[in-house]
Amino acid sequence: MKVLVVEDDPDTTEMMRVIMKRAGHVAETAATGEDGLWMATEFAFDVVVLDWDLPQPDGLEVCKELRARERWMPILMLTGHAGIDKRVAGLNAGADDYLTKPFAPQELTARLNALGRRAPRERPTEMSAGDLVFDPAAREVRRGETTIPLRPKELALLELFMRRPDEVLSRAEILDQAWDMAYDGMSNVVDVQIRQLRKKIDEPFGRETIQTVPRVGYRLRSTTAPAGPEPVPAG
């Protein structure tokens, strides 16, 4: 998932970035409500984590404005206030869930995974392509009865493909969705990471789930296919 964290405390921001990276998510950050509102309006995110106690505009106003602009990604509101009135106000403003500081890393991860299954439309608990199954909540991948351990970046790539089956994704688009904006590397990192992913989910099983589309990018086949020659596009 690609998550926007809008939080003015740098220590909290860095902690959440580390938690999300370990869970295989990509985190972008904004330190003010104004910047968070602009990023959430201009770019696509699966979930927004929004601190209530931002300098003006505060998190509540940002949440209201996002919904007024018809930005419907799930919003997880953070606050140091545990009172029921705050929670009700946040939910009434359009937030989907509420987390009180301080929070355990496991709870943040669980709530993000649950919200991610809602965005931008209701998603299944598990996603599949033939006999390849990905459980985004457990961060678990299986091919048939075999569990396949993946590293966080490999999980992020597989999740991106499985959320958009049969779509051709360019290297630039993959970089944008699976790496954060601070990454300044070249697109060959995509080829390297996909090669590693194939070695784990495809090659040992004689499959070709992730297909190269020459001169364009990659796509994930929604049905199981044996490994074979890659088609060359016309023209």
Q: Please state the rounded mean pLDDT for residues 112-131.
A: 75
Residues 12 and 110 both lie in one domain: yes
pLDDT at 21 over 90: no
- Give pLDDT tens digits for 93-121: 888 898 988 899 999 999 998 888 775 55
Look up the pTM and report it: 0.65
What is the number of domains present in the chain?
A: 2
End residue of a domain, out of 91, 116, 141: 116
- Give pLDDT tens digits for 213-228: 998 899 999 886 565 5
Residue 192, judged by CB atoms within 10 A of its CB (0-12, 13-18, 19+), counts as exposed
Query: What CATH number does residue 55 fall under?
Result: 3.40.50.2300
- Give pLDDT tens digits for 55-100: 889 999 999 999 988 888 899 999 887 677 777 887 888 888 989 8
End residue of a domain, out of 76, 93, 116: 116
Residues 109 and 186 both lie in one domain: no
Q: Please state the rounded mean pLDDT for residues 155-179.
A: 87
* In-domain check, residue 121: no
pLDDT at 26 over 90: no
Its domain, for residue 112, covers 2-116
Residues 183 and 88 both lie in one domain: no
Residues 67 and 92 both lie in one domain: yes
Residues 26, 47: Cα–Cα separation, whole Å: 11
Instruction: State the CB neighbour count (10 A cutoff) for residue 203.
Output: 12
